[in-house]
Amino acid sequence: MTEKESVSDIGTADSVSAYSSPAKSVGDPGITPLSPSHSLKDSDQNVPAQQTYVVVVAIDFGTTSSGYAYSFTKEPECIHIMRRWEGGDPGVSNQKTPTTILLTPDGKFHSFGYAARDFYHDLDPSDSKHWLYLEKFKMKLHTTSTLSTETELLAANGKRVKALDIFSYALQFFKEQALKELSDQVGSEFHGSDVRWVITVPAIWKQPAKQFMRQAAYKSGLVTPDNPEQLIIALEPEAASIYCRKLRLHQMIDLSSKTAFNGYSPTETIGTGMTQAKEVVRRNRQSRTFLVENVIGELWSELAEGDRYVVVDCGGGTVDLTVHQIRLPEGHLKELYKASGGPYGSIGVDYEFEKLLCKIFGVDFIDQFKIKRPAAWVDLMIAFESRKRAAAPERTNPLNINLPFSFIDYYKKFRGHSVEHALRKSNVDFVKWSSQGMLRMNPDAMNALFKPTIDHIIQHLSDLFEKPEVSDIKFLFLVGGFSESPLLQQAIQTMLGGRCRIIIPYDVGLTILKGAVLFGLDPSVIKVRRSPLTYGVGVLNRYVEGKHPPEKMLLKDGTRWCTDVFDKFISADQSVALGEMVKRSYTPARPSQLVIVINIYCSEIDDVTFITDPGVKKCGTLRLDLTGTEPSSVPARREIQTRLQFGDTEIKAMALDIATSRCVKAGIDFLNY
Ligand SMILES: Nc1ncnc2c1ncn2[C@@H]1O[C@H](COP(=O)(O)OP(=O)(O)OP(=O)(O)O)[C@@H](O)[C@H]1O
Ligand SMILES: [Mg+2]
């Protein structure tokens, strides 16, 4: 191992500390901090100076649909939603474009969105099996526990592709579209360097997934690693919250209060309310420019300092919740409980439908059909999507789902009998065959497909509302496309039983996008966040008889040390202000050492003593790169002061060589460690 690479050797990461040199730890390089293990909090220092940009462009990279929106910094009250490029699906109104991507057989980017889907659909089946078509792939970043830059995704034809390539192709596509639209708007070529980019991610995403998105942005050329501040990772429910607090009464539906809101009569049902809401969206969409009031919206005229609300982003992949408290008069926000949620998005309903098809037609057939007739499978899911959106609690008439001819035909070849026969033979009596070649589902069958997903959401919400931090909630904002589901709305309404008012913005699907633009214009609006996990590093402490276990004892040069001691930076659910720093000092073991690499550990629980405790995992590395900062005269103990910031949407590190006052390159890597 070279000097530069000596990562796990204690010599690289230890410190001289107040005590003399510690020795090799049992499980892990131990570090004795040079300074005592206290958090020094200074919220004013080290907040990077704001660079000015001409425009903020936010990209909402969704599981099922994506889009961008922008605002010129000189005209922050106008948010422009991306112009539409192509058509839509029958029976489905989307404000974003589907997150579908098509690569040529040799792996080159071909198209994105409806264009990708239509082109793929029109390919000859013998050709299409060579093309790489992907959809609903964002969830992979949440569900892969060992996410890395090498993680792969499965295309519709069963071939593997690198996830980093797919995400970067998609971001590159959005970059080009946005720059083209901006150039058209201003009448001259618009450069990416004038843009502050914002990418939204679910708040429950772990650090590796956020870093993956950043890496994909670097790869796509959206921004460069030398200017990381040009890209902000925004958290989806936070973005929604920023927008919701600016809502005016005519931009939302109050589900819980049956009083007249925006002229609605008190007798209105949820369904009719949403129909009217859509009409307003459609009218607005003609210009696709939304005006955000600079003053606090009328909703806030009802709010007092310290009022609390919950934002629930119900998307395609995840349901993400955040609890905020408002500080007036500026409307700054404070997070009251760490972001929570889970993979309970609307695609759960699609999976239930797939399971139902497997029950009727057999898993072996469905698996084969997906691989052999991928375009027909996409058609079938599009047909299902429009019927899924028609599901409602009060519905009594059946829902018909068109089976593609290719399904009927392939089934006959595969099994030797008809789909009608399969339906009759199956024990599924709530799905019938209609003579027009359709699956006829009774409404209960459709509602049953929603049940597991909705139950998860309700369970999560009830647990959340039990937490002491989540008391006295005034509003619950329902955002994200899935919030349009009357079944979900009703379930939430029943669960809350009038505990707080449920507010649904009209353009649920665009709330996150608009909020993300506002966040890009002023990222300091969220003043306090909660750490989702406990973070720290392993250090050596002086061994104390009776306090430390004997198996952790280590003797070095006559001194007894306790290894693997967890030096906590921050606790799970601890509140931390924006710009607040945790300060630690480290020193290279040898003057010639160029890199200090320190392992970072995390845990869901707060009570951690050793890095070997159950539930404590190594989750990343802190890397201090001393290249080029060698002092002319090496002091006996070279102090590298490191500051870690936990109050932002990503964990950030900065470091300073105390002797020379020079910045040391510091980075945290949660992806490749
Ligand atoms: N009326 C409806 N009933 C049921 N589901 C609906 C309805 N309207 C939209 N959806 C679902 O909402 C999802 C799209 O919502 P949205 O665009 O917020 O998700 P996303 O941003 O793609 O996902 P995520 O935020 O989880 O990454 C789709 O899965 C769609 O099926
Ligand atoms: Mg979303």
Residue by residue, DSSP assigns 384-446 as HHHHHTT--TT--S-EEEEPPHHHHHHHHHHHSS-HHHHHHHSS-TTEEEETTTEEEE-HHHH
* % of the chain with per-residue pLDDT over 90: 67
If pLDDT is split at 50, 70 and 90, which confidence band does 349 have?
very high
If pLDDT is split at 50, 70 and 90, which confidence band does 635 have?
low
- Give me ligand 2 centre to Cα 293, in Å: 24
Mean pLDDT calculated for residue range 200-229? 96
Question: 80: helix, coil or strand?
Answer: strand
Are residues 196 and 232 in contact, defined by beta-carbon separation less than 8 angstroms? Answer: yes
Q: pLDDT at position 508, please?
A: 85
Give residue 296's Cα distance to chain centre. Answer: 27
Residues 10 and 30: their CA atoms lie apart, in Å, by 7
If pLDDT is split at 50, 70 and 90, which confidence band does 636 have?
low
Does ligand 1 lie within 6 Å of residue 509's CB atom?
A: yes
- Give me ligand 2 centre to Cα 65, in Å: 7
SS (H, E, C) 554-610: EEECCEEEEEEEEEEEECCCCEEECCCEEEEEECCCCCCCCEEEEEEEEECCCCCCE
Amino acid at 139: M
Mean pLDDT calculated for residue range 375-397? 93
Does ligand 1 lie within 6 Å of residue 96's CB atom?
A: yes
Top pLDDT among 180 and 2 is at 180
Based on C-alpha coordinates, what's the Rg of the chain? Answer: 27
Does ligand 1 lie within 6 Å of residue 484's CB atom?
A: yes
> How many other CB atoms are there within 10 angstroms of residue 594's CB atom?
19
Catalogue all structural domains in the chain, each as residue range(s) with its CATH number. 3-36+531-669 (2.60.34)
Does ligand 1 lie within 6 Å of residue 647's CB atom?
A: no
| Residue of 339, 319, 346, 311 lying closest to 502 (CA atoms) | 311
> How many other CB atoms are there within 10 angstroms of residue 107's CB atom?
14
- Give me ligand 1 centre to Cα 89, in Å: 14
Residue with tokens 């072996």: 364
- Give me ligand 1 centre to Cα 254, in Å: 20
Q: Which residues lie closer than 8 Å to 517 by C-beta, 6 or more apart?
A: 56, 57, 58, 69, 70, 71, 79, 198
Residues 607 and 615: their CA atoms lie apart, in Å, by 10
- Give me ligand 1 centre to Cα 549, in Å: 52
Are residues 334 and 527 in contact, defined by beta-carbon separation less than 8 angstroms? Answer: yes
pLDDT surpasses 90 at 96: no
pLDDT surpasses 50 at 433: yes
Among 75-79, 90-94, 166-170, the range with the most confident prediction by mean pLDDT is 166-170
Does ligand 1 lie within 6 Å of residue 80's CB atom?
A: no
- Give me ligand 2 centre to Cα 96, in Å: 10
Does ligand 1 lie within 6 Å of residue 489's CB atom?
A: no
Residue having the nearest C-alpha atom to atom 11 of ligand 1: 482
Strand partners for 160: 154
Does ligand 1 lie within 6 Å of residue 507's CB atom?
A: no
For 569-606, the pLDDT digits (tens) are 999 999 999 999 999 999 888 877 889 999 999 999 99
The ligand with the least distance to the CA atom of 388 is 1
Range in 78-87, 329-338, 544-553 the model is least confident about: 78-87
Does ligand 1 lie within 6 Å of residue 135's CB atom?
A: no
Amino acid at 125: P
As a whole number of angstroms, the longest Cα–Cα distance in the chain is 89
Does ligand 1 lie within 6 Å of residue 345's CB atom?
A: yes
Residues 593 and 156: their CA atoms lie apart, in Å, by 49
- Give me ligand 2 centre to Cα 200, in Å: 8
pLDDT surpasses 50 at 481: yes
Does ligand 1 lie within 6 Å of residue 480's CB atom?
A: yes
The ligand with the least distance to the CA atom of 515 is 2
Cα 74 to Cα 83, 119, 519, 585, distances in angstroms: 21, 40, 15, 42
Mean pLDDT calculated for residue range 86-103? 76
Alpha helices in 144-190 (DSSP H): 163-186
What the block records as the tokens of 152 is: 């792969």
Question: 490: helix, coil or strand?
Answer: helix
What the block records as the tokens of 127 is: 């050709």
The ligand with the least distance to the CA atom of 319 is 1
The ligand with the least distance to the CA atom of 482 is 1
- Give me ligand 1 centre to Cα 319, in Å: 10
The count of C-alpha atoms lying within 13 angstroms of the C-alpha of 331, restricted to the half-sphere facing its C-beta, is 21
Ligand 1 atom showing the smallest separation from residue 345 Cα: 26
Ligand 1 atom showing the smallest separation from residue 317 Cα: 26
Residues 170 and 318: their CA atoms lie apart, in Å, by 20
Q: pLDDT at position 292, please?
A: 52
Q: Which of 59, 61, 65, 89 to mutate to test the pocket of ligand 1 (most atoms within 8 A of CB)?
A: 65
For 108-146, the pLDDT digits (tens) are 999 999 999 999 988 988 888 899 999 999 999 999 999
Go through 612-624 and write b for each residue having 16 or more CB atoms within 10 A of its CB, e for each that does not: beeebeebbbbbb
Are residues 391 and 458 in contact, defined by beta-carbon separation less than 8 angstroms? Answer: no
Does ligand 1 lie within 6 Å of residue 64's CB atom?
A: yes
- Give me ligand 2 centre to Cα 316, in Å: 7
Strand partners for 311: 322, 477
Are residues 123 and 369 in contact, defined by beta-carbon separation less than 8 angstroms? Answer: no
- Give me ligand 1 centre to Cα 485, in Å: 9
| Residue of 134, 155, 153 lying closest to 144 (CA atoms) | 153
Question: 322: helix, coil or strand?
Answer: strand
- Give me ligand 2 centre to Cα 512, in Å: 7
Q: Which of 59, 346, 510 to mutate to test the pocket of ligand 1 (most atoms within 8 A of CB)?
A: 346
395: alpha, beta or left, given left = phi > 0 and alpha = psi -120 to 50? Answer: beta
Which sign does the torsion angle of CA 329, 331, 332, 334 carry? Answer: positive
Ligand 1 atom showing the smallest separation from residue 385 Cα: 31
Mean pLDDT calculated for residue range 646-651? 96
Cα 465 to Cα 205, 319, 324, 461, distances in angstroms: 21, 15, 13, 6
**259 CB burial (10 A radius; 0-12, 13-18, 19+):** exposed
- Give me ligand 1 centre to Cα 135, in Å: 14
pLDDT surpasses 70 at 647: yes
Residue with tokens 């792969």: 152
Does ligand 1 lie within 6 Å of residue 483's CB atom?
A: no
Q: Which of 63, 101, 394, 489 to mutate to test the pocket of ligand 1 (most atoms within 8 A of CB)?
A: 63
What the block records as the tokens of 567 is: 């030096």
No. of helices (H) and no. of strands (E), the chain: 16, 32
Does ligand 1 lie within 6 Å of residue 350's CB atom?
A: no
- Write the DSSP assignment of 191-253 as a string of letters: -GGGEEEEEEE-TT--HHHHHHHHHHHHHHTSS-TT-GGGEEEEEHHHHHHHHHTT--GGGEE
Ligand 1 atom showing the smallest separation from residue 319 Cα: 26
Mean pLDDT calculated for residue range 246-272? 50
Are residues 655 and 611 in contact, defined by beta-carbon separation less than 8 angstroms? Answer: no
Angle at which helices 207-220 and 163-186 cross, to 10°:
60
The ligand with the least distance to the CA atom of 91 is 1
Ligand 1 atom showing the smallest separation from residue 236 Cα: 25
What the block records as the tokens of 51 is: 């660079």
Residues 665 and 32: their CA atoms lie apart, in Å, by 21
- Give me ligand 1 centre to Cα 484, in Å: 8
**185 CB burial (10 A radius; 0-12, 13-18, 19+):** middle
Strand partners for 72: 55
Alpha helices in 221-362 (DSSP H): 236-244, 270-285, 347-361
Does ligand 1 lie within 6 Å of residue 347's CB atom?
A: yes
What the block records as the tokens of 623 is: 């890397």
Does ligand 1 lie within 6 Å of residue 481's CB atom?
A: yes
Residues 41 and 579: their CA atoms lie apart, in Å, by 9
- Give me ligand 1 centre to Cα 664, in Å: 44
For 143-179, the pLDDT digits (tens) are 999 999 999 999 998 899 999 999 999 999 999 999 9
Range in 378-387, 499-508, 575-584 the model is least confident about: 499-508
- Write the DSSP assignment of 657-673 as a string of letters: ETTTTEEEEEEEESS--
Residues 513 and 519: their CA atoms lie apart, in Å, by 10
For 31-75, the pLDDT digits (tens) are 444 433 334 344 444 444 556 899 999 999 999 999 999 999 999
Element (H, E) at 377: helix 374-388
Mean pLDDT calculated for residue range 283-299? 50
What the block records as the tokens of 27 is: 């499980």
Top pLDDT among 628 and 523 is at 523
Does ligand 1 lie within 6 Å of residue 320's CB atom?
A: no
Element (H, E) at 76: none
Q: pLDDT at position 279, please?
A: 34
Average pLDDT, the chain: 85
Q: pLDDT at position 659, please?
A: 84
Q: pLDDT at position 2, please?
A: 33
Top pLDDT among 261 and 68 is at 68
Strand partners for 610: 565
pLDDT surpasses 60 at 6: no
- Give me ligand 2 centre to Cα 107, in Å: 27
The ligand with the least distance to the CA atom of 136 is 1
